[in-house]
Amino acid sequence: MKVLLIGSGGREHALAWKLAQSPRLQALYAAPGNPGIFEHAEPAGINPDDHAAVVAFVKDKGIGLVVVGPEAPLVAGLADVLRAENIAVFGPSAKAAQLEGSKGFTKDICAKYNIPTGAYQRFTDGEAAKAYVREQGAPIVVKADGLAAGKGVTVAMTLDEALAAIDECFGGAFGEAGAEVVVEAFLDGEEASFFVLSDGQHALALATAQDHKRVGDGDTGPNTGGMGAYSPAPVMTPAMVERTMKDIIEPTIAGMAAEGMPFSGVFFAGLMITAKGPELIEYNVRFGDPECQVLMTRLKSDLLPLLYATATGTLDQVSAEWHDGPALTVVMASKGYPGSYDKNTPITALPATGDGEKIFHAGTALKDGQLVATGGRVLNVTATGATVAEAKNRAYALVDGIAWDNGFCRRDIGWRAVAREQS
Ligand code: AMP
Ligand code: GLY
């Protein structure tokens, strides 16, 4: 089968690397791609925002499956355009992508289908939101409704912080995304990410992960897209996975189907494991980045049939096997990230990698034959191990072999799991 992969991040490099290992793959194309992805795929040379060009490319090359990595093309309806042409596509419709695109939409689905999540209210008026927050008291969580690049959420430990967050949202800090605000009860517990494939009807649980959103060691500083991750998440025991499937994922699949917008693609459920059990914090409708990098490293099965079954409603006919040992990835970013940073800084050396080691590319480019950093998050240094501690040591040994003056990373990825192993 010929596959077209949409995206240009570390997540898509991991997908390309794994797809390239499939005995069923005939050819892999990617757009926009990056130098890491192009180690495994041919450049498609098309703009994914140009839906007509994507359709024309698929028909011209005889592509059997389109895999959409990021959320933006999904929210923009790329999967709908392809499905209308009877092209198999991995990724939800624009309507179903509202599970990521609108926090209020997701909360309403949770309420209607009895999915455990924090109590909430939606507001389009600042004064009403403030009155509710005063009534509920702190701690409380204030969220811009729409996509705000991970910056639209304030976990307010005091009433003043919550009131300021409401002013910020309605003051236009997040543009259109903040025109509506969701105020939600604070959930106390340990967070985990859970990935599940759905073809609209059936579900296939993949694996769990934990990420590190803050830029600094010890989980300090501003939020980022993710500075590192490991899989599996120790808090997600088999019993907890089973309960999450039954209480959260299966009702969501049934609910979305009943709403006339069946969900086809991957659920990336952000969970809080509270004293009451798993509660949903949020859904994303794509693989996590960098969570995908550790998932693909741990996946034993061929990825291509899993994505194809998801796209074609045959998920009940496939299964996924995983390596037992953990995988961990360290994100190397440009100095200054998540604020402003210099572009086109040279990466002069990457170390050789052995079995169970891989350096995925995110924001890189080749300029006159020289690898340069063009983005905020640039390299995802990934390793497996018998323990998280071992995977961590291997990943940091690789990090230390990278020659890139303008790069930095957290030095403590996996610290919670390592502490757990040592206790
Ligand atoms: P989100 O963008 O919805 O994933 O929120 C970003 C982060 O805010 C989450 O990863 C949690 O750490 C935190 N968060 C969101 N909602 C809640 C909540 N209801 N209670 C506690 N923490 C939350
Ligand atoms: N690493 C978090 C995300 O992909 O949203």
Cα separation of 144 and 102, whole Å? Answer: 9
Q: Where in the chain is the domain with CATH 3.30.470.20?
A: 189-317
Atom 19, ligand 1: which residue's CA is nearest? 186
Question: Is 70 exceeded by the pLDDT of residue 298?
Answer: yes
In three state form, how does the secondary structure of 221-246 look? Answer: EEECCCCEEEECCCCCCHHHHHHHHH
Beta partners for residue 359, in sequence order: 381
Tens-place pLDDT, residues 73-119:
999 999 999 999 999 999 999 999 999 988 889 999 999 999 999 98
Tens-place pLDDT, residues 7-36:
999 999 999 999 999 999 999 999 999 999
Question: Is 90 exceeded by the pLDDT of residue 146?
Answer: no
DSSP 321: -
Give the closest ligand to the alpha carbon of residue 150.
1
Give me the CATH code for the 189-317 domain, please.
3.30.470.20
Q: What pLDDT does residue 172 have?
A: 82
Q: Which fold has domain 125-179?
A: Dna Ligase; domain 1 (3.30.1490)
Mean pLDDT of the chain: 96
DSSP 403: B
Tens-place pLDDT, residues 33-76:
999 999 999 999 999 999 999 999 999 999 999 999 999 999 99
Tens-place pLDDT, residues 149-181:
667 889 999 999 999 999 998 888 887 777 889
Q: pLDDT band at 274, cuts 50/70/90?
A: very high
Which long-range contacts (C-beta less than 8 Å, at least 24 apart) are formed by 20-25?
A: 21/302, 21/303, 22/302, 22/303, 22/304, 22/305, 23/302, 24/302, 24/304, 24/305, 25/1, 25/304
Q: CB neighbours (10 Å) of residue 172?
A: 10
**Burial of 4 by CB count in 10 Å (0-12 exposed, 13-18 middle, 19+ buried)?**
buried
Atom 12, ligand 1: which residue's CA is nearest? 191
**DSSP code string of 43-97:** E----TT-HHHHHHHHHHHT-SEEEE-SHHHHHTTHHHHHHHTT--EES--TTTT
Atom 3, ligand 2: which residue's CA is nearest? 288
Mutate which of 153, 182, 235 to test ligand 1's pocket (most atoms within 8 Å of Cβ)?
Answer: 153
**Ligand 1: centre distance to CA 309 (Å):** 32
Amino acid at the residue 56 = A
Q: CB neighbours (10 Å) of residue 355?
A: 7
Q: How far apart are the first and last CA of the chain?
A: 48
2-93 classified as CATH 3.40.50.20: yes
Cα separation of 30 and 10, whole Å? Answer: 13
Q: Where in the chain is the domain with CATH 3.30.1490.20?
A: 125-179
Beta partners for residue 216, in sequence order: 220
Atom 7, ligand 1: which residue's CA is nearest? 153
Name the 3-class secondary structure at 201: coil
Q: What pLDDT does residue 190 have?
A: 92
Tell me how far the alpha carbon of residue 400 is from its chain's centroid: 26
Q: Are strands 2-7 and 27-32 parallel, antiparallel or unpaired?
A: parallel
Prediction pTM value: 0.95
**Range 319-332 average pLDDT:** 97
Q: Is the CB of 219 under 6 A from ligand 1?
A: no
Q: What pLDDT does residue 150 have?
A: 65
Name the 3-class secondary structure at 141: strand
Tens-place pLDDT, residues 194-244:
999 999 999 999 999 999 999 999 999 988 999 999 999 999 999 999 999
Q: Is the CB of 186 under 6 A from ligand 1?
A: yes
Q: What pLDDT does residue 34 have?
A: 98
**Range 305-315 average pLDDT:** 98
Q: What pLDDT does residue 174 have?
A: 81
Atom 4, ligand 1: which residue's CA is nearest? 282
Cα separation of 62 and 404, whole Å? Answer: 40
Q: Architecture of domain 327-422 in CATH?
A: Alpha-Beta Complex (3.90)
Q: Which atom of ligand 1 is nearest to the CA of 185?
A: 19
Q: What pLDDT does residue 151 have?
A: 72
Name every residue whose Cβ is closer than 8 Å to that of residue 139 and which is 6 or more positions away in sequence: 155, 156, 157, 158, 186
Name the 3-class secondary structure at 210: strand
Tens-place pLDDT, residues 344-391:
999 999 999 999 999 999 999 999 999 999 999 999 999 999 999 999
Name every residue whose Cβ is closer than 8 Å to that of residue 101 and which is 6 or more positions away in sequence: 71, 75, 146, 147
Q: Where in the chain is the domain with CATH 3.90.600.10?
A: 327-422
Q: What pLDDT does residue 235 have?
A: 92
Atom 5, ligand 2: which residue's CA is nearest? 288
Q: Is the CB of 184 under 6 A from ligand 1?
A: yes
Q: Where in the chain is the domain with CATH 3.40.50.20?
A: 2-93
**Ligand 1: centre distance to CA 99 (Å):** 15
Name every residue whose Cβ is closer than 8 Å to that of residue 309 and which is 6 or more positions away in sequence: 197, 199, 204, 315, 317, 318
Cα separation of 411 and 392, whole Å? Answer: 9
Instruction: Classify residue 320 as left (phi > 0), alpha (psi -120 to 50) or beta.
Output: beta
Cα separation of 75 and 175, whole Å? Answer: 17
Gyration radius (Cα) of the chain, Å = 21
Q: What pLDDT does residue 381 have?
A: 98
Q: CB neighbours (10 Å) of residue 378?
A: 28
